[in-house]
Amino acid sequence: MPDMEQTQEELAVAAVMLVVKAPMDKVIAAYLNRESFQQNSDVIEFQSIQSVGKSDSEVEKEFQSIGFTEKESSEVKNFMAFKGGTAFNLSSDEIKQIQEIDSKDPAVQEKSSRLLRRILAERYQVYFKQGLEAVQPYDRGGGKYAFPRRELTVAAGSIKLLENHFPDFYQSLLKYPEVSSKEVKSDFFWFKNKMDDRSAYQLSHYMSSTLKNYAIVAELQFYVGSSYNSMLTIIGCVPYEDGTIVFCTNRTFTDQVTGFGSSIKRSVGRRRIEDAISEHFAKLRSMLEPK
> How high is the mean pLDDT in each 10-residue block of the chain (291 residues)?
48 66 84 78 91 88 96 95 96 97 94 97 96 96 95 90 91 94 94 91 95 91 94 90 86 65 41 68 76 60
From 88, 135, 134, 133, select the one nearest 115 (Cα to Cα). 88
What's this model's pTM, rounded to 2 decimal places?
A: 0.87
Phi-psi region of 204 (alpha: psi -120 to 50; beta: other; left: phi over 0): beta
**CA pair distance 258, 256, nearest whole angstrom:** 6
Q: Are 95 and 82 spatial neighbours (Cβ–Cβ below 8 Å)?
A: yes
Helices (H) and strands (E) in the chain, counts: 10, 9
Residues found in the chain: 291
Q: Write down the pLDDT at residue 264.
A: 32
40-71 burial, b for 16+ CB within 10 Å, e for fewer? beeeeebbebebeeeeeeebbebbeebbbeee
**CA pair distance 258, 202, nearest whole angstrom:** 23
